[in-house]
Structure 1
Amino acid sequence: MFKPFKFAQNVGPSLGMIEYALKNYWKFVNIKEHCNVLEVGCGPGNTTHDYLLGLFPKTLQTYIGTDQSEPMVEYAQKHYQNDPRLKFELMDITTDTLPNKFLQAFDHVLSFQCLQFVSDLRKSLSNIYRMTKPGGNNFITFTARYTLFDIYEELAQSDIWKPYLKDYRKCVTPTQFYVEPHHHFETILKEVGFSPIVCVLRDKNYVLPKKSFLAFLDSTCMYPIPKDLMHNFVEEVIEGMKRRKCGNGNNEDGQYVTTPHRLLITYAIKPQLNSL
């Protein structure tokens, strides 16, 4: 995902998932005054700046958005680092060398629609645990299963798309093939030391006009599809959705596409007496 401007302009589906999670589950979060907040997977920073920063009290000390994509972080720093409390930094959540300044430094760690792009959930959650203060908490959402990934798997077998999708599984959500992914995720949370309070799975659909879906897929596609082939690629994805009865019909903008998700939402705390 290295197209920050396009992603910022086509954030609708991701924002819809975030808004649903916040509306229904943010009420469980114990928000602290004078807190320090870390976000894992901030992308281009627009959602962080426009929506997430406002979740915290005026006494918020620092909010650090992190992402493993240098173009995303540079875009966020350029366009959204106008609040003195808000900073954006480059970091891979699966790193073996966390910055010392991040260890046990945060009251709240957030991650919205990011971990579906991370292959090692255990390492990610272990690092989140190490960066959370005792008594702190995390709020995480990600797509645990996505019909789009099934279609990518299908297209990866075709002669046309095989050269571009040969590593497609590296970009497939790590819980794609679990029957009960929330139970798997909750187990990992407990094993790294967290006490889960909420860990739920919700089936959600997001409907987009075909043109909007094309723009969204172009901005989020992790595969090296040539620009001149992207339209054909999206057309084949839409055909795959139709075969699964996910996209058909017309509205005033033309054909629309329905994209089914299984959204995983968790809230967990780090016990006071636990240490690194």
Structure 2
Amino acid sequence: MDNAELYSKYHRIQTEEATFVLENYIKSIKWKSGDSILDVGTATGEVTAQVLAPLLPHDFEKLVGLDISPEMINLAKQQNKNPKIDFIVCDIASENITKTIDAKFDHIFSFCCLNWVQNQKQTVKNMYNLLKPGGDMLLAIVTKSTIFEIYELMASYPKWSKFLMNSEEYISPYHHCTDPEAVYEKLLVDEGFEVNICREQQRFMIFSDLSELRNTFLAINPFVNKLPEDLQSTYVEDYMKEVYNFNYFHRLECGEIVLKIPHRICTVLASKP
């Protein structure tokens, strides 16, 4: 997931999900003058700078976008012109996170990122410690997705299995969970958070352009660049065949045919006492 330039061009779905969450829940955030904000999983920074930042109070002190990928952060820094916004390379699940970031924040946001993190307990612990007392966080976590199902399918093929032995590392920890809301809420409460909202709901990725669909999925695919170069195009073709096999084609009222691909997202609003 280090193809920063491709991600920067094809992040519409992430933008739509972040916009949906913010439109519905940002009014519940408790703002004050001079707030500091952390956005976990900023990628190439467009959602942080173009979606989240305009919704912040004009007198916020700083907004920091965090991502594990140096390539993503490098491009985010190149594209950012706002002096109040900064971007840093950091693993939110690191056991030594204070070596990278020792600041405390009034608010934490994260959109469709934490589902890629396997060590959920350490991540929750880190976010708790990164928040100031009285701080809050608004998160959107993908719990179930066709993308994860395809990763599992591809890893089961003899043709690809030897290259995808660690595929489970790129599948949401909640993908096979029967009650993600209860599991995640318990993680939060056990760490000391007060949970206001922990709600899973159905959402859809809608594509009318098959080229955009292909590039959107490639932009977050962690396996392509790890394959031998002569096998990459074949893998991509097999991957897209699996997407089409789910038969999510849908006819709109106007007659247009689109792919309407379901996924489930858990929205979380929690605060640190």
Q: Contact 1:182–1:200 at 8 Å: present in 2 too?
A: yes
Cα shift at 1:228? 5.4
Q: Map of 1:210-249 to 2, 5 A cutoff? A: 210-223=210-223, 224-225=226-227, 229-247=231-249
- Give the % identical residues: 24
Alignment-derived partner of residue 67 in structure 2: 67
Matched-pair contact (CA < 8 Å) for 1:238–1:247? no
Mark the runs of 5 or more structure 1 residues left unpaired by the alignment.
272-276
Alignment of structure 1 residues 127-276 onto 2, 5 Å: 127-208=126-207, 209-223=209-223, 224-225=226-227, 229-247=231-249, 256-271=258-273
CA change 1:74–1:58 in 2 (3 A) is same
Deviation of residue 135 (structure 1)? 0.3
In 2, Cα distance between the equivalents of 1:227 and 1:7?
20
Q: Which moved more, 1:170-179 or 1:147-156?
A: 147-156
Residue 74 of structure 1: how far off its partner (Å):
1.1
What code does the residue aligned with 1:143 have? V
The whole-number CA distance in structure 1 between the counterparts of 2:52 and 2:111 is 10
**1:76 — aligned with what?**
76
Partner residue in 2 for 1:5: 5
Q: Report deviation, 1:231.
A: 4.6
Partner of 2:21: 21
Give the distance between the partners of 2:152 and 2:87, measured in 1 at CA: 34
The code of the aligned residue for 2:115 comes to Q
**Cα drift, residue 103 of structure 1:** 4.8
What is the TM-score normalised by the length of structure 2? Answer: 0.91
SS in 1 for 2:159: coil
**2: CA distance between counterparts of 1:156 and 1:66?**
30
* Structure 2: distance between partners of 1:5 and 1:255: 29
The worse-fitting range, judged by mean Cα deviation, of 19-28 and 117-126 is: 19-28
The answer (yes or no) to whether the contact 1:108–1:138 under 8 Å persists in 2 is yes
Q: Deviations over 1:14-39 (max 9, x none)?
A: 11211111122222222222101111
Distance in 2 (alpha carbons) for counterparts of 1:241 and 1:60: 42
Q: Aligned partners of 1:256, 1:225: CA distance in 2, in Å?
A: 30
Contact residue 19 and residue 51 of structure 2 kept, 8 A: no
Q: Name the structure 2 match of 1:33.
A: 33
Note the aligned Cα RMSD (angstroms): 2.3
Question: TM-score, length-normalised on structure 1?
Answer: 0.90
